Amino acid sequence: MAIDIHWILSVAILTTPFFFEKWAKRSPRTIQSINHVCAVLTVFYLGLILVVTDSLTQTNAAKGAFSLPPILASSALLSLIWIYQVRSKLIGIARGIKLRQGEKLLTQARMILGIVLIYSLYYLISTWVGKHFSIWLGIPLAMIALIYVTPIILQVMWKTTPIQNPETINLIQDCFARADVDLKRFYFIHLQKLKFHNAMVCGPRFGFGPFRRSLFITPSLFDHLSLDETKAVLLHEAAHFKLHHLPKRMGAAGLGILLALLMIVIIGTVTFTLFKSPMSALVELALFLLIQAPFVGTIARRHEFEADLMAVQLGASGPALVSALQKITALSGIPQSERPSFFTRVIFGVIHPTLDERAMVLAQGYIASKSLAQPLKQYALTFTLILATQLSVSYLNLQTKYPHPAIRNIASTPSQR
């Protein structure tokens, strides 16, 4: 009995996470190398899923030579879920994270719920406004809504408790007052078991009730940092508010989405005009990621450098800030100077500069252009390859559907009325 090659490929896809885990455990692997391999596998399997989806949504007449059976998409989806479970486990081992199974499941469930809420809200607002008004208005409004609800979503995703110690509250409010920010809401986030030691701010300038500006900080920072180091971290977070980084970053993300959509519309129109073939969902996703990643990443990196420099202007000690960053990095089990790979940046959206880069900017007192450098040559080359692939596939599909030159010419010529 003949064995279908697609079933063999499905089995191979499903066993990939097993070999991925074996490879990582054979010798100690860095978090960077684990993320890199995981990102490459994500690109490959997500692409396979989208190719299968494309072939399923096309009519029989529109299908070209590149249709694949649903079993491959199912295998790729299950494999991706397993791969990310393995990634979580391996990074936990690399960072020394030890969680009981129940705690791990609860943490993952809360994180997934928060992510679902974010994407659902964004989708509902942008879709509704896009349907009744314009998608170019829907995306900015969705971004504004996300700024307002982020303080609530973070409390859904993480275990938090309000800070009640008067001395801690006075320290926080004093630091934020230097940035002309009247902060009323501050919470401890209890993620020490996940090796998460950090602080972050969120919320709109003109918020109200639970939608006000908020600070989230791990209690471990008060335990392991000196007073000057703690002040430096708090002033860094206050600087984000003073420099209006949150709305700027959301605006950059929204503008990046609009630019990506515009590029997809232009290329899709060209592809359909030339070859009577719609753009592949895989190409749409790839273009979206490639346009978003360098655009948002550059702005986010600049914001981190600006907040470091502004913190010093507000009274923080530069050496204390560097020392605090070193301690936070060590507590979190994160490499200090290892830069993320190209695929890691695109897939996981890595935006924070390394500790060495931040220390250099603080020592210089200004942001050099090379500190914001992105691998633009790699982005341009990848963009060119994706575009060439889309045009080649569209051309081959046209040849497959209309093999006779006369018929092909009729099909590719706009009808005259």
In a structure prediction context, what are the per-residue pLDDT tens digits for the chain, which is 417 residues long? 345 676 777 888 888 888 888 887 776 666 777 877 887 787 777 777 776 766 665 544 444 444 567 777 788 888 888 887 888 777 777 777 777 777 777 887 888 888 888 888 888 988 898 888 887 788 888 888 888 999 999 999 888 999 999 999 999 999 999 999 999 899 999 887 788 888 999 999 888 888 999 999 999 999 999 999 999 999 999 999 999 998 888 888 888 888 888 888 888 888 778 777 777 666 777 777 777 777 787 888 889 999 999 999 999 999 999 999 999 988 887 766 566 666 666 666 656 788 888 889 998 888 877 767 666 677 777 778 777 877 777 777 666 655 555 444 545 555 444
**Model pLDDT, residue 52:** 72
Radius of gyration of the chain (CA): 25
Sheet containing strand 199-202, edge to edge, reads 160-162, 185-189, 214-217, 199-202
293: alpha, beta or left? (left if phi > 0; alpha if psi -120 to 50): alpha
Q: Which two tokens stand for residue 231?
A: 């002040």
Q: How far apart are CA 349 and CA 207, in angstroms?
A: 28
Longest dimension (CA), the chain: 83
**Model pLDDT, residue 230:** 95
Q: How far apart are CA 176 and CA 415, in angstroms?
A: 66
**Model pLDDT, residue 341:** 65
Nearest to 151 by CA among 202, 114, 116: 202
Domain ranges of the chain: 1-96, 97-405
Cα distance from N-terminal residue to C-terminal residue, the chain: 55
What count of other Cβ atoms lies within 10 Å of the Cβ of residue 19? 10
- Contact indicator for 296, 351 with CB cutoff of 8 Å: yes
Q: How far apart are CA 383 and CA 389, in angstroms?
A: 10
What distances in angstroms separate CA 307 from CA 127, 176, 235, 298, 414, one per listed residue? 34, 13, 8, 14, 55
**Model pLDDT, residue 338:** 61
Q: How far apart are CA 234 and CA 219, in angstroms?
A: 13
**Model pLDDT, residue 160:** 92
**Model pLDDT, residue 304:** 92
Q: How far apart are CA 332 and CA 181, in angstroms?
A: 29
Question: If DSSP states are collapsed to H, E and C, what string results for the chain?
Answer: CCCCHHHHHHHHHHHHHHHHHHHHHHCCCCHHHHHHHHHHHHHHHHHHHHHHHHHHHCCCCCCCCCCCCHHHHHHHHHHHHHHHHHHHHHHHHHHCCCCCHHHHHHHHHHHHHHHHHHHHHHHHHHHHHHHHCCHHHHHHHHHHHHHHHHHHHHHHHCCEEECCCHHHHHHHHHHHHCCCCCCCEEEEECCHHHCCCCEEEECCCCCCHHHCCEEEECCHHHHHCCHHHHHHHHHHHHHHHHCCHHHHHHHHHHHHHHHHHHHHHHHHHHHHHHHCCCCCHHHHHHHHHHHHHHHHHHHHHHHHHHHHHHHHHCCCCHHHHHHHHHHHHHHHCCCCCCCCCHHHHHHHCCCCCCHHHHHHHHHHCCCCHHHHCCCHHHHHHHHHHHHHHHHHHHHHHHHHHCCCHHHHHHHHCCCCC
- Contact indicator for 241, 201 with CB cutoff of 8 Å: yes
**Model pLDDT, residue 176:** 95
Q: Which two tokens stand for residue 118?
A: 């974010």
**pTM greater than the 0.85 cutoff:** no
